[in-house]
């Protein structure tokens, strides 16, 4: 019985790392690999369709040998805005419309181009700069691409963007 419980505990604890992206072959990919150009030794990605430049890793992670390592950080909506303002090179929190351009409609778990945006946390609810009234920010779930409002005091992930020069 102890072995069964231990096995179940290990499966739950590692479920995020062993989960694989699931893509529907009947749906055309919306974020093909040819759309992206790696910059700055691969730490940044230029979306050639929108002209936006994205940080390849979620805030808190560091790109090491084509992998995003470390723990992705969680921020309240206001903390995310404040964090972005402190960054050099005009990094900012994207609007919800900008963030939605990263959503891969053909896939879930995560619903993002995994080859470009490596090691995106599976249950990645990500803040945008967009707000809904004084108390709610707009977020995108990179698990399934769902857009929704969330209490600004909740902590979510952040991926920064800037406009290409």
| pLDDT confidence tier of residue 153, bands split at 50, 70 and 90 | very high
For CA atoms 55, 129, 88, 101, the dihedral sign is positive
Between residues 123 and 71, which one has the greater pLDDT? 71
What residues are paired with 21 via a beta bridge? none
C-alpha span between 46 and 30 (Å, rounded): 16
Mean local confidence (pLDDT), 144-150 = 97
Average pLDDT of every residue of the chain: 90
pLDDT at 22: 95
In the predicted model, is pLDDT for residue 128 greater than 80? yes
Could you report the per-residue pLDDT of 2-25, keeping only the tens digit for each? Answer: 444 343 333 433 334 446 899 999
Strands (E), 14-143: 22-23, 36-39, 44-47, 52-55, 62-64, 67-69, 107-108, 125-132, 136-141
Which CATH fold would you assign to the domain 20-163? Mannose-Binding Protein A; Chain A (3.10.100)
- What is the 3-state composition of the chain as percent helix, strand, coil, each rounded to the nearest 5? 20, 30, 50
For the chain, which residues make up each domain, given as ranges? 20-163
């Amino acid at each position: 019985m102890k072995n069964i419980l231990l096995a179940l505990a290990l499966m739950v604890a590692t479920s995020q790392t062993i989960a694989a992206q699931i893509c529907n072959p009947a749906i055309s990919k919306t974020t093909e690999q040819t759309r992206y150009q790696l910059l700055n030794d691969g730490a940044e990605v230029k979306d050639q369709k929108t002209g936006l430049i994205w940080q390849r890793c979620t805030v808190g992670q560091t790109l090491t040998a084509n992998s995003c390592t470390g723990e992705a950080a969680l921020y309240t909506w206001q903390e995310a805005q404040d964090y972005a303002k402190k960054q050099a090179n005009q990094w900012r929190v994207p609007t919800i419309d900008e963030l939605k351009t990263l959503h891969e409609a053909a896939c879930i778990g995560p619903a993002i181009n995994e080859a470009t945006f490596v090691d995106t946390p599976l249950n990645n609810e990500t803040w945008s700069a967009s707000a809904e009234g004084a108390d709610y920010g707009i977020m995108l779930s990179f698990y399934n691409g769902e857009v929704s409002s969330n209490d600004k005091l909740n902590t979510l992930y952040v991926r920064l963007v800037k406009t290409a020069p």
